[in-house]
Chains A and B, each alone.
Chain A
Amino acid sequence: MADDLESLYRTTYASVVRFLYRKIWDADRAQDLAQEVFVRAMAHQPEKPRAWVFAVAANLARDEARAAVRRKRHLSLLRDDPAGVPSSEPSAQDSVEREERLAGIEQALSTLTPRDREVLLLWDAGLSYPEIAEQTGLAVGAVGTTLARARRRLVAAYDLQERRDHAAHS
């Protein structure tokens, strides 16, 4: 059982971190919480560890997503603020574009309803339809419908934003 958990850890740790990161937008904290998820799994020895891990991750993210996130993001913005000498001068332009693109995707994701977003992120984290259904309380048949809507909305929101940005820049 412990071995199962260890191999699950190896194969899904990165997915759990990404899943958490997309909810709380703090990379360090996402890694810390991902480890916490597996620490809890050690104690619980769940029957369906993969689904369990993501369910606990979702709960932790929900708890986290209240006050701390805004504070930390604010702090990281301050830290990233080029108060000192910018060390990566040559790639600054690339970096700015990348930041803009990331912000665009983040923004597009935030336009989805919580349920659509959850289903999309769970799917992207590698959960199956039945696992997603169990975690979200949806019928298995409704997962496809939800994913279809979520994908369309995400891409549409992102493209709309891109067009606006282009219009603003030109």
Chain B
Amino acid sequence: MRHIPEEELHAYLDQALSRPQCVEIESHLAECARCRASRDEIAALRDRTTALLANLGPVIGQAPSFEVIRLRSIRAGAARRQRLSTAAWAASIAVAVVAGWEANRWLAQTPAAVESVTVPPTQPAAGPLVAQVTPSSTPVEVQRPAPAPRRRHQNPAPTPAAPVSPAEPATAEIAVEPQMQPAVTQLSPEEAHGLLGALATLPPPTHPGWRALPVGPADSSVQNRMPRVSGLPIVQVLVQEVGTDEEVTAVDQQLSTGETIRTIEGPAAKVETLIAQESAARADAGTTDDKKATLILRQGDRITAVTGPPDVLHNLLSKVMARQRR
């Protein structure tokens, strides 16, 4: 009588055999004590191996939120597109603003009282400005270009690197990769919904790590340094220390519709983490009615993220696309 080879017993125990093969083995086992003993021995060996290997490996509580993967994926995608400018990505746009870009030129044409975004002055960073809309639940992302941020109207503090006269005409030069389609017109409802994935409610002032700054007319000098959307009342300002000498600032402001728009400014990695965490928190809470989109201005290693009603951001992007067609 042919006994069952060892490797077949392994495959049998690993459930890697077809049904007929299993039947054949089982009928043999029923009448062969030697093969039964062999099977038991292999089963023990198999368990022993599994137990030994189980010791080897870091204890992972829970996988980080999938938003972490999405965010990394966006960053990787942006880097890839910078290397391969010909890479067409369906339902995405990349807008490269060569020079003279000003946030308020976009936002001036969005609804309500949104007039400009104030980005705290930082050192000039190199690289093109890239705006992208992705079809999954990811933030709208804009990478800030070389010129130092310019500030106007409500916030006339001088910016040494690039002083700009408020009367300067509309001279923004916008170069768009030719094969890119305007994403705004391509978004399906599901995709548009996916856009809303990032960011929800601001952590309450008692949230660990955050401290609230007093906000009032007397603090206008402080407010002028706040990352914010100009011309809107500030609801609250929160600050969180990062490391030894860095901090993240979150500013909540009210739109005329009563909705809030929030601006977070800080080191890129930290801001991205915050956005991912809050997005995950929203997903956990199952919140769907509080729809928000996020615009990310990346400048060097810092990010300013503006979160608000998606129509504001969509409007803004469609204006940009309209401009490039002229």
Same complex for A and B? Answer yes
A contact set with B: CB distance below 8 Å = 2, 6, 9-10, 13-14, 17-18, 21-22, 27, 30-31, 35-36, 38-40, 42-43, 101-102, 105-106, 108-109, 120-121, 123-124, 128-129, 140, 143-145, 147-148, 150-152, 154-155, 158
Give the distance in Å from the alpha carbon of A145 to the alpha carbon of B5 in the complex: 9
* Cα separation A21 to B16 with both chains bound (whole Å): 26
Contact A9 B14 (CB under 8 A): no
Instruction: Pick from A21, A128, A143: contact of B57, CB below 8 A.
Output: A21
Chain B residue numbers with a CB within 8 Å of A140 are 16
> Which residues of chain B from 150 to 171 have any CB-CB distance to chain A below 8 Å in the complex?
none
Q: In the assembled complex, which residues on chain B have CB atoms less than 8 Å from the CB atom of A108?
A: 52
Chain A positions within 8 Å of B64 at CB level: 35
* B interface, over-half SS: helix
- CA A158 – CA B51 in complex, angstroms? 12
Nearest A-chain residue to B58, judged by Cβ? A27
Query: Across the interface, do B53 and A39 meet the contact criterion of CB distance under 8 Å?
Result: no
Q: A9-B66, A147-B10 are in contact. List 5 more A-B contacts (CB 8 A).
A: A9-B63, A35-B68, A38-B69, A105-B52, A148-B10
B182, chain A: closest CB distance, angstroms: 22
- Chain B residue, CB-CB nearest to A19: B57
Whether B52 and A129, one on each chain, are in contact in the complex, defined by CB atoms closer than 8 angstroms, is no
Interface SS of chain A: helix
Q: Does B76 contact A (CB under 8 A)?
A: yes
Q: Judge whether B76 and A43 touch: CB under 8 Å.
A: yes
List of A residues within 8 angstroms of B63 by Cβ:
9-10, 13-14
In the assembled complex, B322 has its CB within 8 A of some CB on chain A? no
**A144 CA to B42 CA, complexed, in Å:** 12
Q: Which residues on B sit within 8 Å (CB–CB) of A152?
A: 45
Q: Could you tell me if A151 and B49 are in contact, using CB atoms closer than 8 angstroms?
A: yes
Once A101-B55, A106-B56, A109-B56 are accepted as A-B contacts, the answer to whether A151 and B45 lie under 8 Å apart by CB is yes
Q: Is B73 within 8 A of A123, CB to CB?
A: no
* CB neighbours of B73 from chain A (8 A): 39, 42-43
Contact at B49–A14, with CB atoms within 8 Å? Answer: no
